[in-house]
């Protein structure tokens, strides 16, 4: 017989679910620190990375164009369109950061233990580069719209 917290509620998680939860928590808590500055392995790695951004932008722009030609009033498509616009904005911000980075003097990056830990933003390019490090503030709303679109598509008949 299934264990119940109180009548009318779902049953309690079993031992396998609890073991999975605790092992996942232990794995997450043992992770090393994540640093905010990401290297791409020299010029070739950065070029391949930037090409990926350009291809993602081209794909998002193409889908937006197709959505403009074949307008759909079905649930979820407005949210998906918003997701694509936010994704394009994110790509532009990140690409600007990639392109500005080589022109920033090395002395503006503060190192501690061989790692970049801070950045001294001066001038327009410095502030734009600094803003590009906060790209997650653009990407999170994008995925919020994407999840809203998926939710509406799932509920649609």
Q: Among 23-37, 46-60, 93-107, whose mean pLDDT is lowest? A: 23-37
Residue 95, in any domain of the structure: yes
Rounded to whole angstroms, how far apart are CA atoms 46 and 96?
13
Residue 140, in any domain of the structure: yes
Rounded to whole angstroms, how far apart are CA atoms 143 and 13?
30
Residue 108, in any domain of the structure: yes
Residue 132, in any domain of the structure: yes
At 52-97, the pLDDT tens digits run 999 999 999 999 999 988 887 788 999 999 999 999 999 999 999 8
Residue-level pLDDT at 112:
86
Rounded to whole angstroms, how far apart are CA atoms 13 and 20?
11
Residue 118, in any domain of the structure: yes
Residue 55, in any domain of the structure: yes
Residue 3, in any domain of the structure: no
* pTM of this structure: 0.69
Please state the domain count of the chain: 1
Residue 52, in any domain of the structure: yes
Which residue range is the domain that position 105 belongs to? Answer: 38-155
């Amino acid at each position: 017989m299934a264990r119940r917290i109180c009548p009318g509620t779902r049953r309690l998680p079993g031992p396998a679910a609890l073991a999975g939860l605790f092992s996942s928590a232990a794995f997450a808590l043992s992770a090393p620190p994540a640093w905010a500055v990401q290297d791409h392995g020299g010029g070739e790695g950065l070029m391949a990375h930037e090409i990926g951004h350009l291809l993602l932008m081209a794909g998002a722009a193409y889908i937006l164009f197709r959505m403009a030609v074949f307008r759909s009033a079905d649930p979820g498509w407005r949210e998906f369109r918003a997701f694509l616009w936010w994704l394009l904005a994110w790509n532009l911000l990140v690409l600007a950061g990639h392109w500005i980075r080589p022109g920033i003097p090395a002395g503006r990056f503060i190192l501690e233990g061989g790692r970049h830990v801070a950045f001294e933003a001066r001038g327009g390019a410095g502030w734009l580069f600094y803003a590009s490090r906060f790209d997650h503030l653009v990407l999170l709303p994008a995925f919020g719209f994407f999840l809203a679109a998926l939710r509406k598509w799932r509920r649609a008949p």
